[in-house]
Chain A
Amino acid sequence: MNIMLMLLVVPLITAFLTMAILKHQKTVWTIFLAVSGYLSYALFTMYGKWDLSWSIELGFKMFGKNVVLSLINSPLGWFFAFFASLTTLLIAMFSIAYNDEKHDSKTAPIWLLLIFSNIGIFFAKDWLMFFIMWEAMSTTAYFIIAHGKEISAKAAKFYLSISLIGTSTLLLGIILVSRLSQTFDIGVSIDSLVKLFSTNYSAALLYIGLFITTFLIKSAIFPFYMWPSKAYAESPDDFTPFLSTVMSKYGVYGLILFILPILAKSDLPMFGKISQPAYMLAVLGAITSVLATILAIFQTDMKKLFAYSSVANVGYIVMGLATMSVVGIQGALFHSVNHMIFKTAIFLSLAAVIYRTGERDMHKLGGLVYKMPLTFLVYLLAIISAAGIPPLSGFTSKWLIVQALMAQKMLFVVVAMIFASTGAFMYLLRCLASVFLGQLPDKYKDIKEAPLLMAIPMTILMLLTLAIGVIPGIITKPIDAVLTGMGYNVEPSSWTTVHTALAKSDLNLTYLFYVFMVACVISLIMYLISGKQEKIDQIDNYTAGENPLEWDTTPDRFNFAYGFYQPFKQMFNPMLDLISFERWMSSFGRIVERASSALSLLYTRSEGAILMLYIGIAILIIGGMM
């Protein structure tokens, strides 16, 4: 059987199978793990076989011929699909342990359907296939986010309405573009849009605007940045990493697949060194990452905090893409994978914390480092990577993106990127300090380390981020294939060194790691040869050695996590009030609800029925005379 078809059929069949045996949770999640394992393996074997394809002809005519749905193994699609399925595999292992009687979300069958559409999106060769899978992904994701809980259903409704707007614009765009090229093929539609840009600039801009809107919505780029904080926070804890790391990449994938080639090939008005639409995209990415960083700093709920952090990270990726240069795209793709790895690690470690404590508010936790040291370590390394500190992987991709932006002289965007990157420290460390450091509340005295099945994927992620940080070739080699597939001329990248855009800024990350290790060894020696240490009680740290009783206070719990950045918040609040799209959206929702009530009142009252009939006749008569 065709391997491309198998990739679709296996998750689909197991989805129906697991639906039948939904009561046996552990079996269902084990099957889920097996399917993710199979997909990862199958995708691994597919690397380099760029001629694999599959297609089917349906008995339905459009443009005078039967509709054909087809899949193709392209380097770009493979890149995203493989790393997505690898992430899923690790999450699946976590899910087996997570879904016990208490946390049972019963979402495995729908999740398998989501994986099915995931593969379809990344390998689609024509727009119809792409759209079918895109819409399947949107609706299945709704049911997983809502997962039979009232509060989640509210958040999911918000996600759904925004996501449906996205599918509507996508459908309109697809119909317009395919009418232009008289076929649904994506490659042909790129060419015909390039041609349209030379003849009718504004129409072409409208066409790609429809697609860009869809992709921005899915990746939560400004002005659609607000849905993740609701949807990520309320979805099942083990699904949040998938939502944040894999599903936010669909929009990125769409931009690389369709928008970048068009912008690269068309003759467009320039702004500085790059074209105007691309610059616009970069500015949107910049606004997103700055805004999301500021919002993340103020959250008290840790899942909401990292939801905004995800938004900010996708903002970096979009900035990298918008440079339209090899290094920028390389950085963006690199950061996509990095984001998958470190954000999965962060969300999984937080899920482990929630699994043990049942608490999501950061200020109600604290001191968990004593009880869950491994989880702490995973979280620590993940945030070091997220903050972009060498020798972990996050540094490399951020370095590439900043270099690409500087090379294109996009000053405003560079400033925004550096601001967001620095702001990231504020929220990353806040969560670290509130959840893992500080004092342990009494009620958590007896909690244990995360179970083994949770610990394994977390440890693997930790090692992965270190490995990629030291040997960037693991990621840059496949990226070479992607860039070659996109038509860029690239030299094969080395295992250890990354080549960047500016002169004399190439970095050998393995040497960097050696330097780091030497520094560590020196610190260790200094620690060992330094004078004798005294262990003091934790409370002395807080009271500077004073006895609280002498000052008429009690040695109470000191928790600084609530209102952590109060002055900072007061500084930014006026600005955030001004641009709250969330409020705009909900007031629009209320208007629709009012209109709805008014219209249904029209039908409840009986008086106007005949009058309305005559209005209808009037429409017909007037219409006939026009």
Chain B
Amino acid sequence: MNSVLFLIVIPLLGAFLALFGKKANRIVAILITAFTEIFSIMIYLSDKLPVSVAIGGWQAPYGINFVLTPLSVGFIVLINLAAIISLFIIRGEKEYQFYSTYLVLLAAANGIVLTGDIFNFYIFSELTTFAITALIAYPRNRRSTGAAIKYLILASTASSFLLIGIGVVYKTLGTLNIADIASKIDLLNPLTLELIIVLILTGIFVELELFPFNMWVPKAYFAGTASVNVMLHGMLGTAGAYIIARILLTMFAVNGSGMLVNANIANAIIVIAMLTIFVSEIAAFNEKKLKKVLAFSSMGQMGLIIFGFMIGNEQALTGAFYMVVANFLAKIILFVLTGEFIAMTGSDNWEDMKGIGRKHPVAGVSFVIGSLSLMGVPFFAGFWGKLAVIQGAMSGNSFMITGIVIILITAVVEGVYFLKISHTFFLKKEDEKEFNAKARIHSIVIAAALAVIVLAIGVHPGLIENNVNRATNEILNSTSNYVDVVFPGRY
């Protein structure tokens, strides 16, 4: 299974090649991404999972290892799917810098998910930071440069925290292997453990778009083009959800049970999740720039997902995974269509987008489906996630019930702004002017296809039940499903 390295090496090689390619870059990038996507699907469908791959023959914990479990490979499939979509919706010619940094991002995102080594994880997350910064700054105007610098400052501050945290882990436990750390975590004294958790959480929460750490989010989404938005959401955001599952719920879990080892910090994370949901949904309510609305909604969904993850029972975990998938699909629909709509009207403001739904009913209806799924309306994928998370939280303490109330209150706010926006597309256009640009058919087809998937999962949640159950099971019994894979026979 050493060939799994292709998922990282081939994009990296492509990144070098892209420096010399000119017109061919886009084709090369698409080919590479298609390869990684097909390859990861083949791994997922093969019956060899779970498996740990030691790189260069150095066995864990001494060497770097990649861990392929249903959870990690499933996330790789999602990340590469978003990557391919983001390439298809690129508008106009891009120079070599764009494709080069994109391929670095692809390699790094795959690496984050696959690696079984915390220091390796740090390196890949640094790589994504720089790739994302370059991609945001790519349009080379005032807005994008500002957003990129803001992101860069926050992300590098955070990664210094992450590095210190990893240093403390190495000093105290003498190992960098995630599985090894997970099996030794109860050897640490509580204060050291708390220090490590706070340092590492600070490092990853910036990328996770959680409330006090996420000052970069709206500007970054606003400055990026539609394809960069899809990358930010579909690659970085999805990798973020994986990080929660792997770092918080596996590495720092009590006896591999999917509960965070320090219950107080788990509560603090839930508070942060609630704050995120509340702040982002309220902030989106009166926002006029469509991309910023979606950025705020991304933050809110991330808050919901982490809320579901931190509750710590099977029902809520299932819900959180459903939500990851639903949010992944629905938000890509919205970002793809937003890119088209902005190009058509030449305005960022959703109030100027009247008449689009009348001209392109398929696009308009797909946007409605995406928003309804994010709102958690029945018949769409988001509903089952929301239902299960709320049901799971209900069996928690009174603290969780506060969370439910916040979710339900913000659902009202979210519903109002999403439906208000989606209905705007169906209003009559005031002037008879033609739109600035034509909608591209393939973007609408992508959006419509994803909308059909969202609808299918919503009507028949059993479609992805197996995959979700495998992931849930892996988190809940991480000792046998993760540590044992890396160190056979340790338990």
Residues of A within 8 A of B (CB): 22, 58-62, 131-133, 135-136, 139, 142-143, 146, 148-150, 153, 156-157, 160-161, 164-165, 168-169, 171-172, 175-176, 179, 592-593, 595-597, 599-600, 602-604, 606, 608-610, 612-613, 615-617, 619-626
Contacts and interface: CB of A to CB of B under 8 A. Distances in A.
A485 B140 CA distance: 72
Given A59-B462, A176-B394, A606-B146, A620 B198 contact: yes
Contacts of B412: 161, 164-165, 168
* In the complex, the 8 A-B pairs of residues with the closest C-beta atoms, listed nearest first: A59-B462, A623-B268, A616-B212, A596-B286, A609-B215, A132-B378, A599-B283, A168-B408
Given A142-B419, A597-B286, 18 more contacts: A22-B361, A59-B463, A60-B388, A136-B379, A139-B377, A139-B419, A161-B412, A172-B408, A592-B285, A600-B218, A604-B218, A606-B215, A608-B215, A613-B154, A613-B215, A615-B212, A616-B213, A620-B272
Nearest to A605: B215
A149 B216 CA distance: 36
B265 interface: yes
B461 interface: yes
B461 A58 contact: yes
A176 B420 CA distance: 30
B415 A60 contact: no
B470 interface: no
B194 to A, nearest CB: 5
Interface in B279-308: 279, 282-287, 292, 296
Contacts of A139: 372, 377, 419
Contacts of A168: 408-409, 411-412
B282 A595 contact: yes
A620 B237 CA distance: 22
Contacts of B368: 143
Given A135-B377, A139-B377, A600-B218, A59 B460 contact: yes
Contacts of B461: 58-60
B268 A622 contact: yes
- Determine the main DSSP class of A at the interface with B: helix
6 contacts: A150-B427, A175-B394, A606-B215, A621-B198, A624-B198, A626-B268
A600 B284 CA distance: 7
Interface string B368-379: 100010000111
B59 to A, nearest CB: 35
Interface stretch (B126-134, B178-186, B201-209, B339-347): B201-209
Nearest to A610: B157
Contacts of B271: 619, 623
Contacts of A608: 215
A359 B335 CA distance: 42
Contact of A617 (B150, B202, B296): B202
Nearest to A154: B420
A612 B279 CA distance: 13
Contacts of A169: 408
Nearest to B426: A148
Contacts of B424: 153
Interface of B: 146, 150, 153-154, 157-158, 161, 194, 197-198, 201-202, 205-206, 210-213, 215-219, 262, 264-265, 267-269, 271-272, 279, 282-287, 292, 296, 315, 318, 358, 361, 368, 372, 377-379, 383-384, 387-388, 390-391, 394-395, 404-405, 408-409, 411-413, 415-416, 419-420, 423-424, 426-428, 460-463, 465
A596 B284 CA distance: 7
Contacts of A148: 358, 423, 426-428
A609 B153 contact: yes
A610 B202 contact: no
A227 to B, nearest CB: 13
A143 B287 CA distance: 22
A124 to B, nearest CB: 12
Contacts, number: 186
A593 B157 contact: no
A179 B391 contact: yes
B268 A612 contact: no
A136 B377 contact: yes
Given A161-B416, A599-B283, A616-B212, A609 B462 contact: no
B388 to A, nearest CB: 7
B419 A160 contact: yes
B213 A613 contact: yes
Contact of B411 (A133, A164, A604): A164
Contact of A171 (B267, B286, B390): B390
A146 B368 CA distance: 14
B279 A599 contact: yes
A606 B213 contact: no
A175 B483 CA distance: 36
Contact of A58 (B215, B296, B460): B460
A610 B219 CA distance: 15
B158 A146 contact: no
A136 B205 CA distance: 36
Contacts of B198: 617, 620-621, 624
B267 A623 contact: yes
B427 A149 contact: yes
Contacts of A624: 194, 197-198, 262, 264-265, 268
Contacts of B462: 58-60
Contacts of B372: 139
B138 to A, nearest CB: 20
B395 A179 contact: yes
Interface centre among A59, A597, A610 (most CB of B within 10 A): A59
Contact of A609 (B154, B286, B315, B390): B154
Interface centre among B216, B283, B462 (most CB of A within 10 A): B283
B430 to A, nearest CB: 9
Given A135-B377, A136-B377, A153 B282 contact: no
Contacts of B405: 172
Contact of B391 (A58, A62, A620): A62
A153 to B, nearest CB: 6
A599 B358 CA distance: 33
B261 to A, nearest CB: 11
Given A59-B465, A168-B409, A620-B202, A600 B153 contact: no
Nearest to B466: A59
A342 B231 CA distance: 57
A136 B378 contact: yes
B453 to A, nearest CB: 16
A175 B390 contact: yes
A209 to B, nearest CB: 14
A139 B415 CA distance: 9
